[in-house]
Structure 1
Amino acid sequence: MTTTEASEPFDRVGRTRPASGLNRELDRLDGLADLMDSRFRLPRTSIRFGLDALVGLIPGVGDGLVTLPAFYILARAHRLGAPTSLLVRMAANVGIDFLIGAIPLIGDLLDVGYRANRRNVALLREHFVKTGQV
């Protein structure tokens, strides 16, 4: 089987291939990132937001609480074998998200557009696709 065939979601007869353990883990992390960054939509708009924006509105503790899932994604990336350079980029995204969110009200609006968790899972998936592990 060639690398191209292995990346296809269907076999030659059209049956879906079972997801690898790495794919399942990336899908779980993607679900968490979706919940945190883009699960909800403002009615009659295309603006999406997640728990990160909502919980971030809580004065004093909100921004700290929403970094916990971001650090979980970072820790899982480490356990999955992501290289240090990628982990540093992901940590920078978390830091930027934290700093943006720390600005009262304006930071919460900007936080809706930054979506650090989605960025980090996309970086992680891209790394594993490039290395041929997914």
Structure 2
Amino acid sequence: MMDEDRMREQARFDSQMVGLGTDPRSIRQRVEMLEQVLERSFRIPGINYAVGLDAVAGLIPVLGDIMTAAMGAYIVWEARNLGLPKWQLWRMGANVAVDTAIGAVPVVGDAFDLLFRSNTKNLRIIRKHLDKHHPETRVIDQ
């Protein structure tokens, strides 16, 4: 009886810790959250344009670009864990590489980071895969 109570308690705890597992739903939640932080954390007042950590950290020479490239690479790694085909992983890696390479150029790269959202593009690729292969992870936007 004690093991059964412990298992129920563990299941209740696990259900509260959403996004920490290795299942497709948890991976989707992590990637969506990271994409929001990197690309749409806040809006620029006056022009109402969404920006995120990718554009802001890009203002810090070298270190900001390395940091956001690592976060973008994490999204690609999660996609690999989901079993995306290699050609899609290459495409996602190319998105991160282009964002990092051009984003590292002073001034021009900062403007580019505002317009080219590699992590949003990569999230779109992941969502398409999940909707096809794991439809139970679909979330209806409100």
TM normalised by structure 2 equals 0.75
How many residues in Structure 1 have an aligned counterpart in Structure 2? 114
Q: Which amino acid aligns with 1:70?
A: G
Superposition deviation, residue 27 in structure 1: 2.0
Residue 30, structure 1, aligned to residue 26, structure 2? no
Structure 2: segments with no counterpart, 5+ residues: 1-22, 136-142
Superposition deviation, residue 104 in structure 1: 0.5
Conservation of the 8 A alpha-carbon contact between 2:102 and 2:109: yes
Superposition deviation, residue 23 in structure 1: 2.6
1:55 aligned residue (51, 54, 57): 57
SS of 1:93's equivalent?
helix
Where do 1:6-85 residues align within 5 Å? 21-85=23-87
Equivalent-residue separation in structure 1 for 2:28 and 2:46 (angstroms): 31
The alignment's C-alpha RMSD in Å is 1.5
Structure possessing the higher relative contact order (Cα contacts under 8 Å, 6 or more residues apart)? 1
Conservation of the 8 A alpha-carbon contact between 2:61 and 2:104: no
Superposition deviation, residue 91 in structure 1: 0.4
Aligned partner of 1:17 in structure 2 is: none
Aligned partner of 1:92 in structure 2 is: 94
Equivalent-residue separation in structure 2 for 1:106 and 1:35 (angstroms): 22
Superposition deviation, residue 129 in structure 1: 1.5
Superposition deviation, residue 38 in structure 1: 1.2
Larger of the two Rg values belongs to structure: 2
Q: Which amino acid aligns with 1:78?
A: R
User: What percentage of residue pairs aligned between the two structures are identical?
Assistant: 36
Q: Which amino acid aligns with 1:54?
A: V
- Greater shift, 89-98 or 52-61, is seen at 52-61
Equivalent-residue separation in structure 2 for 1:107 and 1:47 (angstroms): 18
- Which stretches of structure 1, 4 residues or more, deviate above 6 A after TM superposition? none
Q: Which amino acid aligns with 2:102?
A: I
Superposition deviation, residue 122 in structure 1: 1.1
